Amino acid sequence: MNETQAQTDDTSAGTPIIEVSSMHKWYGDFHVLSDINLQVKSQERIVICGPSGSGKSTLIRCINRLEEHQRGQIIVNGTELTNDIKNIEKVRAEVGMVFQHFNLFPHLTIIENLTLGPIWVRKTPKKEAEEMAMMYLEKVHIAEQAEKFPGQLSGGQQQRVAIARSLCMKPQVMLFDEPTSALDPEMIKEVLDVMIDLAEEGMTMLVVTHEMGFAKSVADRVMFMDEGQIVEQNNPHDFFDNPQHERTKLFLSQIL
């Protein structure tokens, strides 16, 4: 397992898996994202932070086309996002997304939540999909809940199921939109631990979060956004100890 991982490291590390260039987005007249340029290499872990309303969610939702951009280019895993619905579905299958409010499917059991994507999108045989789902449930330490419904789980458990659901699609990239901010403090750690494990296994991750501890220990790069622009990005050490921009300094002084 580790060896094959290491091999793919050599070949794929360094090639950008997400390329956003001169991207703009408007909500009606409101210019929410302005001239976004972003390259994410395979296995890179990026944390995005910034004040409320700065466009963090919008940016990562553009990457799997939950939101449409109006100008510029977004290329994910070699596929450019345009109006072509087939391309969009292809990209979405390769990009996992974890939401603030989990968004599990309440009418399906946990295991059905996990196998749905593999069975219908990847055409995996049901039995195989279930075995894989159980493996990922074990990985997020929740295998014993497989037959329950989402409504019967705690918030932290639901979020771990949501992560496992994305992993079942064997995504190239995982997007996280404030995965812990709807959780009680004692549940935040169990979710962050799962995310740290994931990072250590070499998953490419884009994480919007206010958990600066996570950013310091896991991120390769921390990005600061304000008013729809990427103001500053740097490795976590320099970002936190030596911020360049006034707005970043102000933000960090408020949050730390």
Ligand X SMILES: Nc1ncnc2c1ncn2[C@@H]1O[C@H](COP(=O)(O)OP(=O)(O)OP(=O)(O)O)[C@@H](O)[C@H]1O
Chain residues binding another protein by CB under 8 A are 64, 66, 85, 89-90, 92-97, 99, 101, 103-107, 116-117, 120-121, 149-152, 165-166, 169
Measured CA to CA in angstroms, residue 95 lies from 190, 209, 232, 249 at distances of: 23, 18, 25, 32
254 binds ligand X (CB under 6 A): no
Length of the chain: 256
6: helix, strand or coil: helix
247: helix, strand or coil: helix
Stretch of 5-13, 16-24, 50-58, 212-220 contacting ligand X, by CB under 6 A:
50-58
Nearest CB to ligand X, comparing residues 65 and 164: 65
The C-alpha atoms of residue 250 and residue 28 are separated, in whole angstroms, by 30
The C-alpha atoms of residue 157 and residue 177 are separated, in whole angstroms, by 17
Stretch of 18-26, 27-35, 140-148, 182-190 contacting ligand X, by CB under 6 A:
27-35
Q: Least Å distance between CB 225 and Mg ion?
A: 11
34: helix, strand or coil: strand
| Binder of ligand X out of 42, 45, 47, 58 (CB under 6 A) | 58
Q: Which does 130 bind (CB under 5 to 8 A by kind): another protein, ligand X, Mg ion, none?
A: none
The C-alpha atoms of residue 187 and residue 116 are separated, in whole angstroms, by 26
Interface positions with ligand X (CB under 6 A) = 27, 30, 32, 50, 52-58
